[in-house]
Structure 1
Amino acid sequence: MAQTTTFRGTAWSVRQRAASACTVVHLLLGASLLWPCLAAPAQAQTPLARAYDIAPGSLEEVLGRFGHDAGILLSFRPEITAGLDSPGLRGHYSVEQGLTALLADTPIVASRQANGGYLLARVGSHAEQAAPLPLVVINASPDRDATVPYAGGQLARSGSLGVLGAANVMDVPFSTLNYTATVLRDQQARTLADVVVNDASVRMLTSTGGFGDTFQIRGYSLANDDVGLNGLFGLSSAGHMPAAIVERVDVLKGPGTVLNGISPGGSIGGSINIVTKRAGETPLARLTGSLQSRAQGGLEADVGQRFGPDNAWGLRVNGVVKDGEGGISGGRQQLGVGALALDYRQRGLRWSLDAFSQREDVDGFRPQVGFLDGVTSIPAAPAGNSNFYAGSRLRLQDDVLASRLEVDLDPDLTLHGAIGYRNGASWQNLPTGSADAAGLGTLRNAYYDATTRTATADVGLHLRLSGAGVRHAIDAGLTQLRQEGGNAYVTSSGTASYSIYQATPLPPITDARTAPRKAYGMVLTSLTLTDTLSMLDDRLRLFVGARRQQVRYDSYDTQSGLQESAYQASALSPLLGVVLKPADDLALYANYTAGLTRGTIVPSGMVNAGEILPPYRSHQVETGVKLDWGRVMTSAAVFQIDNPSAVITQVAGTPSASTYGYDGQQRNRGLELAAYGEALPDVRLMASATFYDARLRRTTDHANDGHVAPGVPRRAFNLGLDWDTPWLAGLALSTRVLHTSSVYFNAENKLRLPGWTRVDIGARYSTRLGARPLLLRATVENLFNRDYWLIDKPYVTIAAARTVLLSASIDF
């Protein structure tokens, strides 16, 4: 079905400015999240002329900027602007004059609608009488055009870049990917992990059915609880983020501390941000039934509608229930997800509230295993549906509440603020053991229960200025994250011998289970300032900025409750970037960025024991090129990321004395190649390749200098194709191939895990059941049922076996 693109503007009355400014103050003071209900009604707008300075570009982009600056709602189908360019708009114009100038010499006309917006259509068409269409809604905010899809619909043209807001991929000096809800739905993604692996630079270090998801970007790990949610850290589950609540996934490759702030876990290879669903312009009521191989059934509801004057209010509700034997033989996985998204928008004001709750109960979760010292070879991976820790159990729960408010005090000045809270908990039987080359070992059982409470907030502004032929986009922000975690660990008194090739009953735990007690408290506070300078008709863009980050971390003894250590330090992280566009469809870029990771307190036994080591800084240098062929986007990038590592250094002349510090280094160098879009009519493409040279430097006693960094492959390839067949309308076939070369398990480079190749296939058929749209889907992951290891240092886990996914969705 065709899409309609909508641009919502920002012009608004003096009365609204006062009310909205008051709203910001109340937010910062912790007032009610429902304050937007008190916003003053819109006053009639007079058709006064105003100044515009819109650079040349595609007609779609220029119209989007015009709608934002003029404070109007523009709606049109993307195909009517396809292939059309615009010289931009400079000078003083009323809304009608501006539209007339922009649409001159095009076959497009604008007609005013009852809600004050404009519908664009080609001359002679009957768009006004067409059936209701699903709208792509672009609000007048830093995220206003982030949902406009690129050709093929699998990726968006723009995405969120933290403090910079949303930006077109051609206009930023970074490697970014912005996956749309379309690709999540077409690939039957269950969690965030199922979609991010569509790029060769992103890999999963864990597998489905385990405790939690761990990602790898550019060779460095990123835990699931380091994923952002609508731009806020600390709100994502430590386990899995359900795809049911996701509208878009934004991936930034490379350190993003200046853009996003330091994450709770200090991930530096890249960042992932989830944008949650919102109600669209067209009412939605969708019910999906699903079946996963090994007899896990599921039911999902997705309901959304806008209401009130000018559809200012929107409500989106999602619910998921699943139960049955998941990906582990003899196991059982129960899942419940409930999410509510409420939003309000009027000229100059946007507010949203997100609440979701997740419960997961798994009998027989996917095991992890380490290897004994002295092992000279890695045993072959067992079957992907096996669980050699019989009787393991995991329960996870997450409750999240978040709200965001944006206020346009002027067409060139936007204030924004956001707050969020998460309460997470987990209870598990945690068997641990290390195996030998034959897969044999001894395990010990344990209860490991944990709790996490996080409160996070940010405030900031976006200001646009012009002068001397240079346009400035200035962004400033202040963020703070407060997190408190507790745990309880109770082990079994006995052990049991086991083999990774057969299920072994866990030894009993005779001591009573205890409630988690406080283990740490953390406060992350940062202040950032950036300036994007655009000149030469936007052919040249310079990005400069810095973030001052302060880290406080206190640890506690969970038995006595006494504080064990107190850490407080700060560091500065810079950003430099440049984009040169010799042509509208060609961008050359380069960046220097830095990431920050929390330091530590030097342990006892060292000469510098007790010293507070400041947050250590990783450095990235990257350069690349992006070329938009109209229907296919291609890119190439080379990068180098240097990340400090802890080493023990002997004091010269004193063999018995050593110091501890972040003097070692892992250097990841790489080449990335990518192409995505619509390669041929009705053929969608996502292809990528990454080549790594990851080395260890300045290791302890220089024992491993020059060795390949463990867990980082030499190469990784992806190829995804999605094809609308010509012989049956509504039928699409897809395939996806992922390949990762072998990796070393340890820094000594004595143990190697074999490489692997995974092939997925899929089919979907869009039809009608009576008058109701019906979508049938079938997917087979790991078609050839390959057994292989995934490494999440210092453990490995088994990749999932062949998995069949079936679903049927009907719209009411």
Structure 2
Amino acid sequence: MPHPRFRPAATAFAAALVLAAWGTSSVNAQPVPAVQAAAVYPIALPAQPLGAALNELARQARLQLMVHPDLVAGKQAPAVSGQFTASQALERVLAGSGLGASLDGNAAVIRALPAATSGATLPPVVVNAAAPDATPALQQDGTAADGYRAKTVSSVGALGGMALQDTPFSISVVPRELVQNIQAQSLDDIYKLNPSTRTATPQITGWSPLVNIRGFNGYNTAEDGLRRLYNHAAVVEDKERIEILNGLSGFLFGAAQPGGMINSVYKRPTVERLNSLTVGNYGGSQAYVHGDFGGRFDEAGRVGYRLNVVRQDGNTAIDDQKIDRTLVSAAVDWQLTDRLLVEMNAVYNKYRSAGTSAYWFYDIPRGRAPDARRNWSQPWVRDEFENTKLMAKATYRLDERITLRAAYMRDGIDRPVQDHTMNSVSSAEGFSQIRIRSGRTEDTFEAGSALADIRFETGPVSHKLTVGAYMYSDKSWATRSSPNTGWQGPYPFSQPTYVPEPYFTPNIYTPYYAGRVMNRNQVIGDHLQFGEQWSMLLGVTRSNIRTVALDGEGAKSQPDYDKSRSSPSVSLMYKPVPWLTAYASYIEGLEAGGTAPDTAANFGAVLPPMVSRQKEIGLKATVGELLLTGALFDIEKAYEYIDTANTYTQNGRQKHRGFEFNVSGKPADKWTVVGGLTALDAKVRGSEFDGKAPQNVAKLIAKVYAEYELPVPGLVLTGGLYYTGRQWANADNTDRLPAVTTADLGLRYAMKLSGRPLTLRLNVNNVANKSYWLNSYYVGAPRSVAFSAQMPF
């Protein structure tokens, strides 16, 4: 891969959801009273986890539903479809679960039947009201107590939320409590943990961050389901979860690279007041403080708030490398009526780094990786972002069959300065280095959607039809100033060579409008349910990619790019038993052709659009307290590379076949396991590299993160092993990077201090302090020690 070009640019919450103590005396469920007998509702519920089924039933039947999450954990609900009273629907959903319902008006309380509880009754907890807000259930999903086993996906692209086991795609979820417990400070920490992802370009480099999924690199990111092209200086403290879709996403998210999609989901307001303060260190001397506050403004609970504030400053575990950042992220949810929910976000993120990591490229076979603790760039090299973001979403339930959804995001990035360092190796004796300083650049990202979900029946078949449009765009302002030092050296590998900050010609130019990239999509999808066992998902997205590129004089620097294509998708799902789902799917995707990097003779040239195709079969099983998923996939796309004439070109096909296996949950009472593997057979077909393996694609990735509750109450031992197999470091397969295994260890201790809960965390990453190649361009992170103390108050 050529080097990246410059870019301008829920256990904790379950307690908060207890609205009242409903008493500890046993209340035996009786037949549901006939008070609701006259109210008949169209109910359409697929077979799914019981908690999710009750949540959806509350929405469709306008119920205030109360149930303790422990009662429904691990239980499945059958499919229910037809015209029912609320009591009839509850009876069918709860059939065989050992649970019963008491109904009073529109309030339903779910309790265990006497035979199942031996007289014990758990207090109910509000799960959802008669409104389209699924936030409370999402905040309880994938907690540490459940082994981080998520049951729902908040956004399957244009389709919206779905039960994870009912999605015909390979999707994994990294929930909030796991993000907290590994003390992640960026998406790179999430990618390290997840068995399907690898960091391709780390955030600390200052280049556009890249993630590798199923062997394909991509900038594919979304926030609350809204696409964006890049995600510089990403933060995770204000996120509820990270949802990772493996493979093509054209039908769901529009034009994108074929590897997958990373969707970051923002924290939403809590039902009861939340005040949480965390102080700690992310590694090195990166001290930080994080405040997380939530609750309701009014007694009726219709307007809620969430505020996350982070201040961090200090050196990383790499010598002379520093991060200084400030985050203020606010969310407000307003239930204007029982049918209309409005969600708003405002985010300010200022992120400054110094001594950003260097980019390496070799003209000779790579030897051992340079010492990862050392800064092989320059301490004065710096990067800075100031990011201001506004988001709004509205969900309106027109009636029991039609839900309207709309969303808009505007994200402005001001980048006052961007320095980069590149190291070139043509001899084993040393390396040369170039330092580059670019002037101010700006970007305005926009994304929006307008969608409708329509439920209806055709005979015995129930439908959920989704229709609408969505888009994303990037307007960019570039700089005329980009002075550099030229190549200097050679410098030895024994230790970094620091030089004084040179004189760079001051940037006297204001940024000029450099053009726009836009993707517009029209989508129609139908989720069909054939009884309790069979279902199908059909859909097509019509995508248009348009780019306009201008130079500093306002003239077009390349011809306009305006290409359209339809991306179909079809999936068949079979549920022989409630806990097992088998699926087969086919999906296509459109992406813009690559842009020739500045190392190519045709620098700046944009290649024709590419169509990717994916076939996949998979299984998803909930076994006890474990979620097990497996998938076989076959992906192919056009192959782009720099040929022997130093021209960036598109020729041949890149074909990736592989197998994935993921597991999350609790295999035993005191054990938690999150992990899996990805095995890949990747080849180039056609072109001068026919039969070669693509560069930077590992044949095997295997990861496991585990937790064990020690005999001391509240004390948990944590750790992980992460294996990346061998990968070719160049396109002609003459230079290979060795396999590498890294290990993490940690402890977590939950205690009481002055009557208040306190959680202490310690994580040691890369315990052996290995220096290794992350890929052919970057060195992996060295050992770092992160620790924190978190107290709600």
CA 1:118 to 1:439, structure 2 compared with 1: closer, same or farther past 3 Å? Answer: farther
The 5-angstrom pairing of residues 357-396 of structure 1 reads 357-372=348-363, 375-396=364-385
Q: 1:424 is matched with which residue?
A: 413
1:490 to 469, 482, 490: 482
TM superposition shift of 1:540? 1.1
1:661-810 matches, within 5 Å, as 662-699=650-687, 702=688, 704-725=689-710, 727-791=711-775, 796-810=777-791
Change (3 A) 1:493 1:213: closer
1:590-632 CA distance string (max 9 Å, x none): 11111211137999xxxx9999965211111111222221211
Amino acid at match of 1:216: N
Structure 1 partner of 2:386: 397
Q: 2:345 aligns with which of 334, 351, 354?
A: 354
Cα distance change, pair 306–586 in 1 and its aligned pair in 2 (3 A):
same
Cα distance in 1, alignment partners of residues 486 and 640 from structure 2? 34
Q: Which TM-score applies when normalising by structure 1?
A: 0.85
What's the secondary structure of 1:492's corresponding residue? coil
Q: Which moved more, 1:673-682 or 1:383-392?
A: 383-392
Give the equivalent residue in structure 1 for 2:62: 71
Change in Cα spacing, 1:484 to 1:633, as seen in structure 2 (3 Å) is same
**What's the offset of the Cα at 1:471?**
1.1
DSSP-derived class of the 1:365 partner: coil
Q: How many angstroms does 1:683 deviate by?
A: 0.9
CA distance in 2, matches of 1:742, 1:783: 21
What does 1:192-207 align with in structure 2 at a 5 Å threshold?
Answer: 192-207=187-202
Q: Note closer, same or farther for the CA distance 1:235–1:420 as it changes in structure 2 (3 Å cut).
A: farther
Q: CA separation in 2, counterparts of 1:789 and 1:568?
A: 39
Task: Please identify, of 88-97 and 155-164, the stretch whose mean Cα deviation from structure 2 is larger.
Answer: 88-97
* DSSP-derived class of the 2:769 partner: coil
CA–CA separation in structure 2 for the residues paired with 1:540 and 1:100:
22
Alignment partners' CA distance in 2, 1:355 and 1:809: 25
Change (3 A) 1:735 1:632: same
Question: For the structure 1 residues 517 and 137, does the alpha-carbon distance in structure 2 shift closer, same or farther, using more than 3 Å as the test?
Answer: farther
Q: Which amino acid aligns with 1:305?
A: G
- Equivalent position amino acid for 1:542 in 2: M
Aligned to 1:503: 497
560-569 or 305-314, which deviates more: 560-569
Q: Which moves more between the two structures, 141-150 or 729-738?
A: 141-150
- The answer to whether structure 1 residue 629 and structure 2 residue 623 are counterparts is yes
- Supply the RMSD in Å over aligned alpha carbons: 3.3
What is aligned with 1:471? 462
Shift, 1:309, TM fit:
5.0
* Conservation of the 8 A alpha-carbon contact between 1:228 and 1:236: no
Instruction: Tell me whether 658-667 or 631-640 shows the greater mean CA deviation.
Output: 658-667
Cα distance in structure 2, aligned partners of 1:251 and 1:139: 27
Task: Answer whether contact 2:64 2:129 (CA < 8 A) is retained.
Answer: no
Q: State whether residues 378 and 752 of structure 1, in contact with CA within 8 Å, keep that contact through their aligned partners in structure 2.
A: no
Is the 1:5–1:76 Cα contact (8 Å) retained in structure 2? no
Q: Distance in 2 between matches of 1:591 and 1:105?
A: 32
**Alignment deviations for residues 307-343 of structure 1 (CA, whole Å, 9 cap, x no partner):** 3253111100000001111232123221111100011
Query: Which stretch has the larger CA shift, 621-630 or 142-151?
Result: 142-151
Distance in 2, Cα, partners of 1:758 & 1:232:
34
Residue aligned with 2:720, SS:
strand
Shift of 1:477: 2.0
CA contact (8 A) 2:749 2:760 kept: yes
Q: Which residue of 1 aligns with 2:3?
A: none
Q: Letter of the aligned partner of 1:508 in structure 2?
A: P
Q: Write the letter of the residue equivalent to 1:540.
A: W
Q: 1:229 to 1:56 in 2, by over 3 A?
A: closer
Contact 1:320 1:336 in 2 (8 A): yes
Distance (whole Å) between structure 2 residues aligned to residue 618 and residue 665 of structure 1: 10
Q: Take 2:604 and 2:715, find their aligned partners in 1: how far apart are those partners?
A: 65
Question: What letter is aligned with 1:222?
Answer: G
* Counterpart mapping for 1:53-202 below 5 A: 53-55=44-46, 58-82=49-73, 84-87=75-78, 89=80, 92-96=83-87, 98-99=89-90, 102-103=93-94, 108-110=99-101, 117-122=107-112, 127=122, 140=132, 149=141, 152-159=146-153, 160-202=155-197
Aligned residue number for residue 233 of structure 2: 240
Equivalent residue, structure 1, for 2:589: 595
Shift in Å, 1:291: 1.7
What secondary structure, in the 3-state scheme, does the structure 2 residue paired with 1:410 have? coil
Residue identity over aligned pairs, in percent, reads 24
Using the size of structure 2 for normalisation, the TM-score is 0.87
Deviation at 1:57, TM superposition (A): 5.0
Give the aligned partner of residue 539 of structure 1: 533
Select between 386-395 and 795-804 the one with higher mean Cα deviation. Answer: 386-395
Counterparts in 2 of 1:222-301, with a 5 A limit? 222-223=218-219, 226-234=220-228, 237=231, 239-262=232-255, 266-301=256-291
- Please tell me whether residue 445 in structure 1 is matched to residue 426 in structure 2: no
CA contact (8 A) 2:349 2:387 kept: yes
Structure-1 separation of matches of 2:422 and 2:642: 28
Asked if structure 1 preserves the Cα contact closer than 8 Å seen for 2:303 and 2:332, the reply is yes
Provide the rounded CA distance (Å) in 2 between the counterparts of 1:329 and 1:612.
Answer: 39
CA offsets 1:228-261 (integer angstroms, 9 cap, x no match): 0111112863x23211110011111001011011
Cα 1:538–1:600 change in 2 (3 A) is same
Equivalent position of 2:22 in the other structure: none
1:38-57 correspondence to structure 2 within 5 Å: 48-55=39-46
Q: May I ask how many residue pairs the two structures share in their alignment?
A: 748
The answer to whether the 8 A contact 1:146-1:156 is kept is: no
SS of equivalent to 2:60: helix
How far residue 102 of structure 1 moved from its aligned partner, in angstroms, is 4.8
When residues 631 and 81 of structure 1 are mapped into structure 2, their CA distance, relative to the original with a 3 A threshold, is: same
Which of 518, 536, 539 is the matching residue for 2:513? 518
CA contact (8 A) 1:367 1:387 kept: yes
Pairwise CA distance, 1:693: 0.9
Amino acid at match of 1:60: G
* CA distance in structure 2 between the aligned counterparts of 1:251 and 1:594, rounded to whole angstroms: 18
- What does residue 317 of structure 2 align with? 327
Alpha carbons 1:146, 1:167 under 8 Å: kept = no
Distance 1:460 1:521, change over 3 A: same
Residues 379 and 137 of structure 1: CA distance in aligned 2, closer, same or farther (over 3 Å): farther
**How far apart are 1:805 and its partner, in Å?**
0.4
Pair 1:589–1:490, CA change in 2 (3 A): same
Residue 675 of structure 1 deviates from its aligned partner by: 1.7
Gaps of 5+ in 2: 1-10, 19-34
Q: Is the 8 A contact 2:63 2:130 kept in 1?
A: no
Q: Distance in 2 between matches of 1:334 and 1:66?
A: 47
Identify which range, 566-575 or 802-811, moves more after superposition.
566-575
User: Structure 1 unaligned runs (5+)?
Assistant: 9-43, 651-655
The answer to whether the 8 A contact 1:328-1:365 is kept is no
Letter in 1 for 2:372: A
Q: What amino acid does structure 2 have at the position aligned with 1:303? A: F
State how far apart, in whole Å, the 2-side matches of 1:210 and 1:408 are: 45
